[in-house]
Amino acid sequence: MNRSTSILTILATLSLMGCAGDKCADSDCSDTGAEELRAEADGDLSEIAEARSAWEGTPEGVGLLDFLNAEETTQNVLDYTVGLDRRAAGNLIAHRDGGDRKWGTSDDDIYNNVDEVDAVRFVGPRTLDRMVIFALRQGFVPGAGDVLGVYDGVSFTVEQADATIKLVNILDEEALDIDLGLNARAAASIAAAQPIATVDGLSRLYFVGQSALSTIKNAAVATGAQQQN
């Protein structure tokens, strides 16, 4: 499933659930009575998710972070315009702006990854999806030629990241080791993790660092250039 299909699926799902007209239909923000009390007793007031968010390392995830870190994104915007639960909206802005509740000051704690957003109390997958859709509509999501991110010192545009992931998932361990010339341990680590979803995920593998990422990226870019000629 490509990203555009994923976005359309989310939109259709939210529409069927009637989320636009009922903010607390979102299970991320509903009061659960005894269940919430048990969570408080355990000292954990946020949803528990061991796996990394599906948006981490994607253009949509980058757009979400840019949107949340923007000065014009206020609690009222999240609450009334995006349609989040007021508690989720308040907690998201409180985390970002720090103790003085002002944007752009020394105590700000901007969001560096999607998991940091997901860890905020009353924020879960549906809230993330709703903010991603809004960020996409508002133009925060980077396009093909825009920088997606810098991983282990290697910068990737969206297009380069897509090409890198396509290449790394079609090469077996021998091709990664011999043909690309990666360290044997890096090649084995990549092969064991295939299919790999994002450059972010690739960069987190054991023995995969700046050298390996640069090699794979350059090979992917060169392959794409050859295909265009």
Co-location of 34 and 92 in the same domain: yes
Task: Round to whole Å and give the CA distance between 20 and 130.
Answer: 10
Count of domains forming the chain: 2
Residues 45 and 120 grouped into a single domain: yes
| Average pLDDT, rounded, for the chain | 84
Closest CA to 190 of 64, 175, 26, 179: 175
Contact 20, 82 (CB under 8 A): no
49: CB partners within 8 A, 6+ apart: 118, 124, 125
Instruction: Tell me what pLDDT residue 115 has.
Output: 94
159 found inside a domain: yes
Measured CA to CA, the distance from residue 122 to residue 78 in angstroms comes to 13
Q: Within a domain: residue 166?
A: yes
Residue with tokens 């954990």: 44
Q: Is residue 142 part of a domain?
A: no
- Which residues are CB-neighbours of 91 under 8 A, at least 6 positions away? 120, 121, 122, 123
Residues 108 and 163 in one domain: no
CA atoms within 13 A on the CB side of 226: 7
Look at residue 25 in the predicted model and tell me its pLDDT: 40
Domain boundary among 107, 137, 167: 137
Q: What is the pLDDT of residues 136-162, one digit of tens each?
A: 999 999 999 999 999 999 999 999 999
Full domain range(s) for residue 184: 147-228
List, for residues 209-222, the tens digit of each pLDDT value.
999 999 999 999 99
Q: What is the pLDDT, as a whole number, of residue 27?
A: 45
* Residues 79, 172 within the same domain: no
Please report, in tens digits, the pLDDT of each residue of the chain (229 residues total). 455 555 555 555 444 444 444 445 454 655 544 444 333 333 333 344 444 688 999 999 999 999 999 999 999 999 999 999 999 999 999 999 999 999 999 999 999 999 999 999 999 999 999 999 999 999 999 999 999 999 999 999 999 999 999 999 999 999 999 999 999 999 999 999 999 999 999 999 999 999 999 999 999 999 876 676 5
Cβ–Cβ under 8 Å, residues 84 and 78: yes
- CB under 8 Å to 4, separation ≥6 — which residues? none
161: in domain? yes
Contact criterion met (CB below 8 Å) for 202 and 208: yes
